[in-house]
Structure 1
Amino acid sequence: MASVEENDDRNDSPGPSGYAAARLRLLDAESRSGPPRRSGLSRITDEWVSALFETAARESGVRGAALVAVGGYGRGELSPRSDLDLLLLHDGRDSGAIAALADRVWYPVWDLGIALDHSVRTASEARKVAGDDLKVHLGLLDARHVAGDLGLTAGLRTAVLADWRNQAVKRLPELRELGLERAERAGELQYLLEPDLKEAHGGLRDATALRAVAASWVADAPREGLAAARRTLLDVRDALHLTTGRATDRLALQEQDQVADALGLLDADVLLRQVYEAARTLSYASEVTWREVERVLKSRSVRPRLKALLGGRPAPERTPLADGVVEQDGEAVLARTARPEKDAVLPLRAAAAAAQAGVPVNLHVVRQLAKVAPPLPVPWPAEAREELVTLLGAAEAAVPVWEALEAEGLITRLLPDWERVRCRPQRNPVHTWTVDRHLVETAVRAAGMTRRVHRPDLLLVAALLHDIGKGWPGDHSVAGETIARDMAARIGFDAADVAVLATLVRHHLLLVETATRRDLDDPATVRGVAEAVGSVSTLELLHALTEADALATGPAAWSAWRASLVADLVKRVGAVLAGEPLAEAEPAVPSAEQERLAVEAYRTGGPVLALRAREEGDAALGVELSIALPDQPGVLPAVAGVLAMHRLTVRTAELRLADVPVEGAEPVLLLVWRVAAAYGGLPEAARLRADLVRALDGSLDLPSRLAEREKAYEAGVRRRSVQPPPPRVTVAASASRHATVLEVRAQDAPGLLHRIGRALEGAGVRVRSAHVSTLGASAVDAFYVTGVDGGPLGAGEAAGVARGVGAALG
């Protein structure tokens, strides 16, 4: 007897209104989410289209036809906005009647606004199309009988599966290539901030591909966690469909909180972490499966020739890699003499040996080690620590090996604190990776810098741990210092090395933040970094870690310009740590070119400027723009506005009074800016000067001109439905003895520096220098300002200026 719940899913009538009502009840029933909803939706759809088919076939007298569900519908996985994939299969006897029958099934579906992917074919036609189109063949592998002649459906299924297995040598490489192209186009699901749940690598398409591989009888995917991962992605897609009311597979940022709420999750971060974990399971299963497919297909093509030559099946070749580890068939496996149940270091030794040889670790070996290898003692023995460093030192070859250990739980067993960062999303578009993968990628980058430092082991481990505090509340550098101490001691480093690693983790952002936001000519800047770092050897490690971290973050985090600033800071700090006295900053001496500009500005009474490319070695560091003009109010906002109008990005800006080598001449204002073209080429200096003259005399309405660009920019932000956080302006206490340092963090936008300059001008303060840095969509700027007396502002006045700038940006 059917339950009440089952009866609720049934159609009130075979007509569209009955189906629509039953569908709506099912989608509104919170208790029926997940697989019950998908199977229920498939069931009531079966009942409806089956009734349509049977009524039409009976009234038209059609025999020898069947209605077949294929693709996702064939698997019984209908999401709220899924297409219906239907095949009208027939025996080819009465094409006119079959066409009429198809219309009587298709049109009611279209009338309800349901997307329909349909076809009408004989079994031989379906097989021929499948032979020409891999995607059609994949859909037919999930063919399921809905109504009509069961024998037709069964015959087609049998034939299609036989074709798939017989053509596996050709079809599986095609399927692999299709997946690689899709991954290149859609990216890796486990690392994307706005992932495509279906198309990205590790998504639902890959789950379907694994089913197809299993159907070929060539290989099968590792089953542990696979069904749960698939279910997670399907549940998220269901919630996404219901939240947006659209047939979408892209989990956009603005919809993640609603989807999380619909699934009963705490927030969008928890949602993304579940998605990433599911994607990682599917991605790992895919890599293992395709490796096995390649091995089997290769053996099928090679074995007959070897048998003919050798008269029998040869024994597999085994090449020693390390104690207890050998290479066989392109994978690291255990030697026959290995005793994994008695060798606690064997998991790390096998991983290090595999990475150094550039081969993966066999799946069954990793699982065996996870089950039987005893835990390492704490602290680790020296061999275990050395094998970890060897693994990390293998650079890119370490990544797949690390992922294999992580998939089977070995990483969190070795390093329990790793669980906090595993699959943790980073809400910053500058970051390419999740926290855990970023740490591994930083170690990969650091492996290429081990020749630059005296302690490569400390560099590699610091790279692996530098963001370990991101799994905890508060400043991740502060939390990370404590965790790194514990982890370094666990790994077996002595007290001195533990202290160095803790310092590196605590200050891993110090060099790049100081170099890009502070005045390096200010002794307080250099002295503060030297006191934090403590020694030349630690500075050397921190320099390499800074570069590795930035390179592993993403393309927006590192550049020749940033590298040059960090190198300059390291040179100055190294001199202090080596015992050289730190002299007070001398007033900057103008170059010959700047002195010429100052003289010309004095003589003409107006602005003069020059553009000069800056390079260091083979690295382009942007363009230096020097401007000299008589001292007057409004210079900073005027110059910043003109540069923004010409789409020039400002990296640094220095403003100072320069003496004119003419007797009795008043000093002129000298501005030295580092700029780069946002896109296109640089404008001519004459055009910049003409617009600057107009901006200073008021004939060029900069606010209006920039407002047009800002309006277009803000419209683009609204279209992306991303609400940026509010701007934040703070006073950096004790950052300089000569000036007050204001830090501005805001959404980058055209004219931002112009608005800041107007606010500072309105506050009656002078800007000595500006250090402008853009990371992704965020501007992180620092301004050295003084009062009219040339000294730092009082605490109350500085706070007031900060509030005023914040209000202007808000």
Structure 2
Amino acid sequence: MTSTDMRTEAEDSGPSGYAAARLRLLQEGARSGPPRRAALSDLTDDWLTGLFAAAADGVKGVSLIAVGGYGRGELSPRSDLDLLLLHDGDDARAVAALADRLWYPVWDLGLALDHSVRTPAEARAAAGDDLKVQLGLLDARHITGDLGLTAGLRTAVLADWRNQAPKRLPELQELCADRAARQGELQYLLEPDLKEARGGLRDATALRAVAASWLADAPREGLADARRRLLDVRDALHLATGRATDRLALQEQDQVAAELGLLDADTLLRQVYEAARTIAYASDVTWREVARVLRSRAVRPRLRAMLGGGKPATERSPLAEGVVEQDGEVVLARAARPERDPVLPLRAAAAAAQAGLPLSLHAVRRLATTVRPLPTPWPAEAREQLVTLLGSGTPTIEVWEALEAEGLITRLLPDWERVRCRPQRNAVHVWTVDRHLIETAVRASEFTRRVGRPDLLLVAALLHDIGKGWPGDHSVAGEIIAKDVAARIGFDRADVSVLATLVRHHLLLIETATRRDLEDPATVRSVADAVGSPSTLELLHALTEADALATGPAAWSSWRGSLVADLVKRVAAVLAGEEPAEPEPLAPTAEQERLAIEAFRTGGPVLALRAQTEPPADEEEPSGDPEPLGVELLIAVPDQPGVLPAAAGVLAAHRLTVRTAELRALELPDGFDGTSVLVLNWRVAAEYGSLPQAARLRSDLVRALDGSLDIAGRLAEREAAYPRRRGVVAPPARVTVAPAASRHATVIEVRAQDAPGLLFRIGRALEDAGVRVRSAHVSTLGANAVDAFYVTAPKGNPLPTDEAANVARKLEETLRG
């Protein structure tokens, strides 16, 4: 059925005909995108025109107007109908009756309706009081009725908008900024709001309003395509969910991608991010231009008076060769010749970042269209300018985005294309891959004073995740890419080798520190062998912290920092020629011995809680109160089976997060008949609220050990109430044996979805396997737990290879079940 046939059916059959024609239109996949939105608007116009004609018999001086998205002809499947019934005020009673005859058929079909009934004066007054009303009226479109009435209102509203632009545009900018603060940036969110987030459809509409003011205009290149792409995604989202929603939730992304004919949800998000980035950049440029115009209007009269009525000159302050500052932006000097100066883009970018100023749109576009490629390898100046840009701190971000918007970054670094706008489906990461790399460089710029080669640190920060655009281990792929990029930008062979090592091992320190026993010489020796030199270790330490800080708040803490610093200190000693000593059995502390004796005498568990603190690692002298690193929990229990799962279960039931755990059998001194007591040394933290009392923990532990407390049942209740995203299935648990990780124990590594009682389930499975847990190293990143367990046979020796593999397999089956 053609559009004409549908419209005829809608007109002839009333509401039911319109509903049927609307449904057929939405089911026509071949007419998606702008054609379907336009056809849906036309179909709705014709239906409303029919309603109006039937209801307005004899009523004069009335028109029906579409405003907002409907006024722009952008009806998505579940969009509201934004309608204004405009009248001249002569017969208010007849107009009210007409409104009822128009609105009720719309409601009867279940369509969302945003309606108003006003005279032109009332409409203008409402627009003057409410900026959102005025924005909607800027897109007013006549549907039916008195065309002259509609035209008069449109003319008056546009005139009001242009006359009031110096006052209203700052209000609009503030409105956009407040919305961005609430909703976040569309180009980085895993579950973005396509309309409200920064770079979304609301911002695109705001840019139309700025253009209508005649005060400034947005850069138009790519803007219409970006808006169309977001509207297409919203259409598919409405069809997939059957709801009027603008939030692209995780569980609906695959279906939306399929609706649009895209490969997968990642492809969908990448297209959304690219569109959002275009709109956000256009917004930045436009609001700067608005500010410049308003500033010049305020200053120009005073300057002209000072100059006797002459035209004021615009100051241009030199920043670098070929680069000047003009009116709060960085522009090219009049004598600059981009076609003869391939380093100019990097020089201009570095100068802008150093000055904390934006690059002008005109300058970036001129560079993008005229500059010739850099030779390979780059000249020294180009490399130095890149390092300067990366080391300029937070201003680097805005300058980098300006270069990227015009394609200059991928021309300088072709490998950047694979990480550009690439989403990271990990709740720990708050940025896309490319933005994370720039954020890491910004963080690394804070550490350049503590390393001998800040240039290598900054470039490593830029490249450390460059392999995420390739299949397989991104560190391995990144090492290969980093070698190529480093050689191309002019580093010598030795520096290329260091950069490759930093990229290959950028996760080594944090993973080792949080998942391995630092007392084990094999652990320290393996890190020293991978790093190779003290200078590389120094760089890797700084890169590790910068990477974690740029990832998100869950990726770094004082506790993690203290573990990494301890590991670095031990590795530095080995690299300086010291051999890591074999760990000797630690003599029990006085407190451990006291608790063990008390446990023997009472025949039950004894607990002690003690807060642990340490000054910040970068302060030689503590200032103020030390920062808490957690709470040390000591448990002494007469040797018996099931201690580890019982203790872990009780802690989980009391909402305590375990960070590290050690378990050892302590032989009591002479006079205690050679009795052995298990001593558990844990570092824990409360999920929220204050720590429970030790007496309550002990009471529950006693009951857990004697079987009167159903820990498994209590944790099952908690897990059932644990918040989950609808439709999101966590990847299955994975359990592996780390070969040669220790000479004294077998290291079993568990990667699983974090949940209440996970450590309890692991401990119970290891007890059932008949192995002893010597220590546990627990690490939680977002929703993912990565735990390492040092286990031995009952006699204290490492497990044979086959037995270790069997334990790992059974543990994995248990966790997956």
Question: Which region of structure 1 is more displaced relative to structure 2, 684-693 or 560-569?
Answer: 684-693
Decide whether the 8 Å contact of 1:9 with 1:40 is kept in 2: no
Q: 1:180 aligns with which of 177, 181, 194?
A: 177
Tell me the distance in 2 between the aligned counterparts of 1:174 and 1:761: 65
Tell me the distance in 2 between the aligned counterparts of 1:318 and 1:792: 73
Decide whether the 8 Å contact of 1:466 with 1:505 is kept in 2: yes
1:185-204 matched pairs, under 5 angstroms: 185-204=182-201
Residues 76-110 of structure 1 show CA distances to partners (whole Å, capped at 9, x for unaligned) of 00000000000000000000000000011111000
How far does residue 14 in structure 1 lie from its aligned partner after superposition?
5.3
Decide whether the 8 Å contact of 1:14 with 1:51 is kept in 2: no
The residue aligned with 1:632 is 640
1:71 aligns with 2:68: yes
1:644 aligns with 2:655: no
The residue aligned with 1:754 is 760
The residue aligned with 2:387 is 389
Tell me the distance in 2 between the aligned counterparts of 1:520 and 1:324: 54
Q: 2:736 aligns with which of 694, 707, 730?
A: 730
Question: Which region of structure 1 is more displaced relative to structure 2, 569-578 or 699-708?
Answer: 699-708
Question: Which region of structure 1 is more displaced relative to structure 2, 43-52 or 734-743?
Answer: 734-743
Question: Which region of structure 1 is more displaced relative to structure 2, 656-665 or 4-13?
Answer: 4-13
How far does residue 619 in structure 1 lie from its aligned partner after superposition?
2.5
Residues 22-50 of structure 1 show CA distances to partners (whole Å, capped at 9, x for unaligned) of 11111111111000000000000000001
How far does residue 260 in structure 1 lie from its aligned partner after superposition?
0.4
How far does residue 368 in structure 1 lie from its aligned partner after superposition?
0.1
1:317-716 matched pairs, under 5 angstroms: 317-617=315-615, 618-663=626-671, 664-713=673-722, 716=723
How far does residue 155 in structure 1 lie from its aligned partner after superposition?
0.3
Letter in 2 for 1:748: D
1:146 aligns with 2:143: yes
Give unpaired runs (5+ residues) of structure 1: none
Give unpaired runs (5+ residues) of structure 2: 616-625
Decide whether the 8 Å contact of 2:7 with 2:46 is kept in 1: no
SS at match of 1:449: helix
SS at match of 1:11: helix
1:763 aligns with 2:775: no
The residue aligned with 1:26 is 25
Tell me the distance in 2 between the aligned counterparts of 1:546 and 1:330: 36
User: Normalising by the residue count of structure 2, what TM-score does the alignment of the two structures yield?
Assistant: 0.97
Tell me the distance in 2 between the aligned counterparts of 1:708 and 1:4: 57
How far does residue 10 in structure 1 lie from its aligned partner after superposition?
4.2
SS at match of 1:7: helix
Decide whether the 8 Å contact of 1:599 with 1:661 is kept in 2: no
Tell me the distance in 1 between the aligned counterparts of 2:760 and 2:679: 18
Equivalent residue pairs, number: 803
The residue aligned with 2:82 is 85
User: Normalising by the residue count of structure 1, what TM-score does the alignment of the two structures yield?
Assistant: 0.98
Tell me the distance in 2 between the aligned counterparts of 1:159 and 1:348: 48
The residue aligned with 1:721 is 727
Tell me the distance in 1 between the aligned counterparts of 2:555 and 2:599: 38
Question: After TM superposition, which residue ranges in structure 1, 4 or more long, deviate above 6 angstroms?
Answer: none
The residue aligned with 2:288 is 291
Decide whether the 8 Å contact of 1:53 with 1:105 is kept in 2: yes
Tell me the distance in 2 between the aligned counterparts of 1:553 and 1:48: 52
Change (3 A) 1:546 1:743: same
Tell me the distance in 1 between the aligned counterparts of 2:249 and 2:224: 25
SS at match of 2:154: helix
The residue aligned with 2:126 is 129
Question: Which region of structure 1 is more displaced relative to structure 2, 230-239 or 786-795?
Answer: 786-795
1:788 aligns with 2:794: yes
1:11 aligns with 2:20: no
The residue aligned with 2:622 is none
SS at match of 2:491: coil
Residues 373-394 of structure 1 show CA distances to partners (whole Å, capped at 9, x for unaligned) of 1110011000000000000000
Tell me the distance in 2 between the aligned counterparts of 1:406 and 1:604: 69
Residues 449-482 of structure 1 show CA distances to partners (whole Å, capped at 9, x for unaligned) of 0011000000000000000000000000000000
Letter in 1 for 2:770: G
Decide whether the 8 Å contact of 1:14 with 1:48 is kept in 2: no
Tell me the distance in 1 between the aligned counterparts of 2:305 and 2:235: 55
Letter in 1 for 2:659: R
Tell me the distance in 2 between the aligned counterparts of 1:726 and 1:542: 32
Tell me the distance in 2 between the aligned counterparts of 1:251 and 1:333: 39
Letter in 2 for 1:585: P
SS at match of 2:280: helix
The residue aligned with 2:50 is 51
The residue aligned with 2:278 is 281
Residues 111-156 of structure 1 show CA distances to partners (whole Å, capped at 9, x for unaligned) of 0000000000000000000000000000000000000000000000
How far does residue 321 in structure 1 lie from its aligned partner after superposition?
0.7
Residues 391-419 of structure 1 show CA distances to partners (whole Å, capped at 9, x for unaligned) of 00001010000000000000000000000
How far does residue 657 in structure 1 lie from its aligned partner after superposition?
1.6
SS at match of 2:290: helix
Decide whether the 8 Å contact of 2:479 with 2:503 is kept in 1: yes
SS at match of 1:376: coil
Residues 332-374 of structure 1 show CA distances to partners (whole Å, capped at 9, x for unaligned) of 1111221111100000000000000000000000000011111
Tell me the distance in 1 between the aligned counterparts of 2:438 and 2:630: 31
Tell me the distance in 2 between the aligned counterparts of 1:393 and 1:9: 61
The residue aligned with 1:36 is 35
The residue aligned with 1:779 is 785
Tell me the distance in 1 between the aligned counterparts of 2:288 and 2:163: 20
Decide whether the 8 Å contact of 2:773 with 2:790 is kept in 1: yes
SS at match of 2:56: helix
The residue aligned with 2:804 is 798
Decide whether the 8 Å contact of 1:11 with 1:44 is kept in 2: no
Tell me the distance in 2 between the aligned counterparts of 1:557 and 1:11: 60
SS at match of 1:448: helix
How far does residue 709 in structure 1 lie from its aligned partner after superposition?
0.6
Tell me the distance in 1 between the aligned counterparts of 2:747 and 2:53: 79
How far does residue 721 in structure 1 lie from its aligned partner after superposition?
2.7
RMSD: 1.1
SS at match of 2:471: coil
Decide whether the 8 Å contact of 1:638 with 1:695 is kept in 2: yes
Tell me the distance in 1 between the aligned counterparts of 2:397 and 2:553: 20
SS at match of 1:327: strand
How far does residue 603 in structure 1 lie from its aligned partner after superposition?
2.4
The residue aligned with 2:212 is 215
Decide whether the 8 Å contact of 2:3 with 2:39 is kept in 1: no
Q: 1:161 aligns with which of 149, 158, 161?
A: 158
1:253 aligns with 2:250: yes
Tell me the distance in 1 between the aligned counterparts of 2:206 and 2:641: 67
